[in-house]
Structure 1
């Protein structure tokens, strides 16, 4: 739009609020100051929620010298800072709330058989027992070995004696001499022999 456009004079921008400095507000509470109070400053300890009204220069001077812990002994300051970590809310040691008598808790704990390797429940009579021994890892079975077990019709948990007995039964069953010279079972016999030899080389029998 050009500056000499007839539409330029029709444009008006109305702010959402009056941004001019208020001069009819409260006066600065700093001694001897008659400037308007534009900022608030906390009055300090034991006066939470209460504020002084100062001008900009005096609120800056007040903040530079403000000390919330003024007049408090060192041990009280340390205790306050420690309580501030939990928001000044009460806390209890682990195992203290809801616990019965120490002797009774110890008997209950002992009968539950809970492992406590880090001694977290000593306050209620817990004993730092070691963790239970992990379950022994079973032998890894590869796909070829699974197929060999399936060829013999046996479970993976079969013992070497069971595998050997099963192998003898299948050889007698599929051998051509046991079938009147019929060679149609030779392929099945070959699978059984290969499966047994594979398991034997892998240490299963």
Structure 2
């Protein structure tokens, strides 16, 4: 009969990691030290990726006096710190491509509201600038309902806001009930013109 329970045979003692690390580590590189060099310390500037191996006490002593910029002029240190703010990536001054000298569009012509406010806006990068030809914008933005309204007024999708207003005034005068003696056909045409103009106005085309 064994003097200890069978479960004792399954117990495994965890190895000492510090002792194992010391057994595989080189000797401390500090002069006169025979301890294991278990800790790394950077060699210095222009030798990134290279390390000394010291014991715990001597790596602390080494780090106290370590200076990455040792022997570097103050002007170079200041330049390095400035470039580090942008991750050492190249930068350019604002307006170097002439963007700041370009005239911004008159936003008041494209937006409703107080013209003075939008005139004070500046868009040097043309982010809010619309098409050069307003007729192209009309043709591109025309939806099926808007195209039908333009057709009712006898216009195509290239018509400008000025064309729409002029055509609307002309048709209103022509088909107004007071000018047609109660003609039923003219009254229906008059309502169609009013509805078409309302659609175009809500769409911002006039």
TM-score (norm 1): 0.50
> Highest Rg: 1 or 2?
1
TM-score (norm 2): 0.49
